[in-house]
Every structure is written in C-alpha cells, then in structure tokens.
Amino acid sequence: EGEIIRTAHYRIFTTVPNSVLKDRLAVLIEEAMHRYRTAITDLPPPPIRLDTYLMENRPQWEQVSRMLLGEQANAITRIERGGYATRGIGVYFNIGLADTMTIAAHEGWHQYTQRTFRNRLPIWLEEGMALYHEGHRWEGSRPVFLPWANPERYDRLRASVTAGRFIPLSTLITMTPNDHLEGNTPTVLDFYAHAWAAAHFLVESPDLRPALEQILQDAAAGRLRSRQHTQIQSRGFSGDTAGRNPRPLDPIRIYTDIDPDDLDQRYEAFVREIVRPGGRDRIISGRSPL
C-alpha cells in the first residue's frame, strides 16, 4: 500500500511512511527539473509527467522492478543501492534522506533525457550531466543546487589521480560505466569521477561551453545525429568512423576545432588543478576549487 503524489512534472508512487523524505523528494525533483532545463542552456519540458517510484525498502524495489521490466529486472536488480532510471521512469528505494535525494537528482536527468531528447547523448556526456546535477544542499525546505558541492565524486577523482589512474578525455569519451577492469586500472567509480570533472571542464571553458550548449540543444531537437553526419563528411574525419559498423564520432570533436591532443592536455591540467591541496575545502562549501 502507498500513495501517489502529483507535481507539475512528476507522479511519485511511494510506500515510504516518512513524510519528510516524501515531501523533500517532491520539492527536489521539481527544482531539479528546472535546473536540467536552464542550468546550461534552455531545453524543452518533458512531454508527459514522469513516473517515479520511491519504495521503502529493497524487496519492494525489486518487486516493482520485476513488475515494470519483467526478465530485464534480473540485471537491473544487481544494483547495490539507490535505484535507476529507464524509459523515463525512476525507481528508487530509501537509502537515507541525503543519499536518496542525490540518487533522485542524478537519475532524474536520465529520466528527463529518456523522455524528452530525440537523440541520445554519448554515454560519457549523459553521465557527466547527471553527475553535474547531483550537488545540492538544503536551505530550509528548499534545495539549492551547487554543481561543485560533491565531495564523493571529488574525493574519488583525487584518489584516482594520486593512484595513477587518471583517464584522458580522449579515453573517457570511448568508455561506458561498464568498461572497468580489476587491478590498477580505472574502475566504474573512477569513470564517474572523471565524467563529473569533464562536465565541469566543458561548462567552465569559455570556448567549449557554446559547443556543449549546442550539443544539448541538438540532442533535444533530434538534430545531433544529422549534424554529426554532415560535419563528419565536410571535415573529412576517418578512422573510428570507418567500417561496416562505425562507432559514432564523439560530438566534442566535431562541434569544436580544437586538436584532440590539445584538448587532452587542457583537461588533464584542469583535473590536476582542481585536486590540488586546498581544493576540498572549496568543494565542501560548494565553491569551485579553481
């Protein structure tokens, strides 16, 4: 048994008895929706209300997942904590107030793009934008979104750089969260930390932010694939676009004229600058470490 909470852009199906958690979720996801559509560039609203399930415990979450996904739930329910978004539906379980809100802010971006964007973003950028929207703090009963206020991602980034697991941008854009190995190699958490840093890198670079804005607008409008194809032809790209089943060329390379090696060097310098001593204090306060 539970209840349905309706907001401007969401229907929340929940079995959680905690009124504070329910009320905060309703407020947070609406504020997050506003951020998704305005923080980087103007983006369209979702075409329908987005369904969100917030279950009181993991067994309920697994049961709902099987009802929604059938056999596909076998893979999804291996997620250790929090939840997921698929087909514009968010499915979460209670892991405490702060962590549940962070999951909802992250997966809410996936919900939004799954229902609203006509072209999919590259995986690294889709995740980077979701990670960018995680950071927030509460002022009274309202969330304030602070993209830098994410010590979990920051600490992982600093640890991976210190351990020699830095991921160049040219490598990151070819990866997915599942591309992680054992040993002294990047793990899935390293991928997320670097994707978080890459999102900030694009937002805070004056010559790259316009490209990011255009990529998001084109993906929402369904122009991303056609513009990629046109620019690939006009600019003579080859290599990773050749063959019977070519891997799509990452839009960062075709929406800018910056040499990939230069971009790698700039990204590495950006990452090493933000993980310098003293940066964490700024992260904790929600400020840029630069």
DSSP string of the chain? --EEEE-SSEEEEE----HHHHHHHHHHHHHHHHHHHHSSS--PPPSSPEEEEEESSHHHHHHHHHHHHGGGHHHHTT--SSEEEETTEEEEE-S-HHHHHHHHHHHHHHHHHHHH-SSPPPHHHHHHHHHHTT-EEEETTEEEE-TT--HHHHHHHHHHHHTT----HHHHTT--TT---SSSS--HHHHHHHHHHHHHHHHH-TTTHHHHHHHHHHHHHT-HHHHHHHHHHHHT--STT-SSSPPPPPHHHHS----HHHHHHHHHHHHHHHTSTTHHHHHHTT----
pLDDT at position 239: 44
Band (pLDDT 50/70/90 cuts) for residue 230 is confident
Band (pLDDT 50/70/90 cuts) for residue 233 is low
pLDDT at position 126: 97
- Is the pLDDT at 114 greater than 80? The verdict is yes
pLDDT at position 246: 38
Q: What is the pTM of this model?
A: 0.92
Per-residue pLDDT tens for 135-159? Answer: 999 999 999 999 999 999 999 999 9
pLDDT at position 79: 83
pLDDT at position 180: 58
**What is the rounded average pLDDT of the residues 53-74?**
94
